[in-house]
Amino acid sequence: MTGGYQITLVYGKFGYEFCVEKDDLKVCFSKDDDFLRYHRNLGGTVVERIIASESGTVIINPVEPLNLPDEVTRFLEIRFEPIEIEPEATRRIYVTFPIEIAVFIMKDEAYRCIDIFSRVPPKYSLYGPTDTGVITRYHWSDVFLRRPEPDPSLYGVVELDLMNTTKNWIEVSRVVFENYGMKIYYDTDLVSMSAGLKIFKPTLAYSAFEDKPIRTGMQKSIELYYSRKLAGVNTLAYYSMEEGLI
């Protein structure tokens, strides 16, 4: 893509001269002799960068919502209305999660993140006791039985499988994820993750992500956190929720 132009879609790959505008957000790249100027205005907060590059690609995509401000936590907690799950059953629900947006510049196969921002102010909570618990990025979501359609510059959608392995009814009203293993996919009007919560008892469950989009044709985001692997196990690492599900 060449030349300066203005677009309303937030995510994608672009040339070195363009502007993105979405409500209170404006992101612009402009050429200045042999340099490139980056300008971002979000609700009156301005960030600018000078980049020494004649040609390349700009990539704007959603990233793990755990970078602002300054990586306070690596855990995302999503709370929702309590759900009662019958014994030995699996049920699929959809919940939302807050979006952070990263801007990358790319030359050949080398890329660099020059900016991260969010249109959703972060909230925090504590999962577990004050002495041993973990700080979490907190988000409240409605429970959806079919995939919702939130504004993709604000919220993404988690396709979440709740798996009750016990012989008892289990109540669930939250899930906690660790940043490692988050796999985000996007297209023009949807940001998504696919995940599962395997429940072993009311005080123990494992949460993990699957590396797949929730519909065809979606693009995989560049990751800011690399996946951790369990030794000898060819699956993504999971987080052990040992402080309860409600």
Each residue's pLDDT tens digit in the chain (246 positions)? 334 555 556 899 999 999 999 999 999 999 998 899 999 999 999 999 999 998 899 999 999 999 998 879 999 999 999 999 999 999 999 999 999 999 999 998 899 999 999 999 999 999 999 999 999 999 999 999 999 999 999 999 999 999 999 999 999 999 999 988 899 999 999 999 999 999 999 999 999 999 999 999 999 999 887 543 444 444 457 899 999 999
Extract the tokens encoding 53: 């590059």
Beginning with the edge strand found earlier in the chain, give each strand of the sheet holding 110-117 in spatial order.
12-14, 57-63, 100-107, 110-117
- The pTM is what? 0.90
Extract the tokens encoding 154: 């604000």
User: CA angle 175-237-227, nearest 5°?
Assistant: 110
> Residue 20 gets which letter from DSSP?
E
Neighbours of 231 (CB within 10 A): 4
Please give the Cα distance from 183 to 227 (Å, whole number). 9
Q: Residue 181 is inside which H or E element, if any?
A: none
Q: What is the CA radius of gyration of the chain?
A: 20
Nearest residue to 209 (alpha-carbon basis) of 191, 194, 229: 194
> 139 — phi, psi (to 5°)?
-145, 130
60 touches 10 (CB < 8 A): yes
Those residues with Cβ within 8 angstroms of residue 33's Cβ, 6 or more apart along the chain or in another chain: none
